[in-house]
Chains A and B, each alone.
Chain A
């Protein structure tokens, strides 16, 4: 008896099936975008020791229930907050901060290490305004750090790299360069402009 070969399966509709699946995955795909503003909450401490901080070293930002901004007891628009925060942080009133470019106003903050931004909101404040304010305050710190990074980085062998980019490079596994040195620069800038943002819990 003659050997009969197995009949070939018709693969003509394979493309259709693949297309169907393709379209399903195309539609359901959501490219995840997990980004946001990182914050660290203060731990709950038992001892309530009052630390005495000079009033001039505190930059109070209050957002009221109507989403109005009260900065140092004066009404302010959101657009002006960043500049005001930078001016406060970079003031360098006691002269110990040799890298500050501020006015050295004796009535404003002593140095960036002592300067504290205090953020207060009411329960009726809307979340989007709160995030906008947080964003502007982070931006103020970032701007100061970026400026510093461009200065120091050029001397330490990381030219044209601002602070945000330095941090990104530090996390990037593919970065070619001396990471230990980069870490040193980042830590130095972090120490020079520490992020001191305190939030008041509103019951």
Chain B
């Protein structure tokens, strides 16, 4: 029984994978932190138009989203093929914008209420009729800061 065993291993030593979990955990934490879960499930088609003179929406101010577009295939037979409005998780009528904005205002801190921006996420195939109606309704509830959400790209390609 000798203490110094004569090691004569010819095989390649295996790579030490002990730190693999650490690396994976690091990546995992990164993605966990940056992940933003989608707030609303879309019931409509929502392909945003392109524009290149865009400004970033500042997250420090409250933002409300209004979606509009053609209902997706699953809802086509129930809601038709015309562009519809979606507030939160369900289809809505134009007249419901007022109560929607009011409830959004109630849910944010008082000092930020005046900074509420309404982001209009409208499908590029929708027509202006519905957009005009939304805008008029927003004027009536005095939510005047709006933002037309767009993808980035040349506007001439639309």
Contact = CB atoms under 8 A, between A and B. Distances in A.
A123 interface: yes
Contacts of A39: 146-148
B23 to A, nearest CB: 9
Interface majority SS on B: helix, strand, loop or mixed?
A: mixed
Interface in B101-151: 117, 119-120, 122-129, 131-132, 135-136, 138-140, 142-151
B54 A130 contact: no
Interface of B: 17, 20-21, 24-25, 27-28, 31-32, 34-38, 49-59, 63, 117, 119-120, 122-129, 131-132, 135-136, 138-140, 142-152, 155-156, 158
B147 A36 contact: yes
B155 A131 contact: yes
Given A31-B34, A126-B125, A127-B126, A41 B139 contact: yes
Contacts of A31: 34
A25 B28 contact: yes
A84 to B, nearest CB: 15
Interface of A: 11, 14-15, 18-19, 21-22, 25-26, 28-44, 63, 78-79, 121-132, 134-136, 138-139, 142, 171, 201-202
Nearest to B58: A171
Contacts of A126: 124-128
Nearest to A122: B128
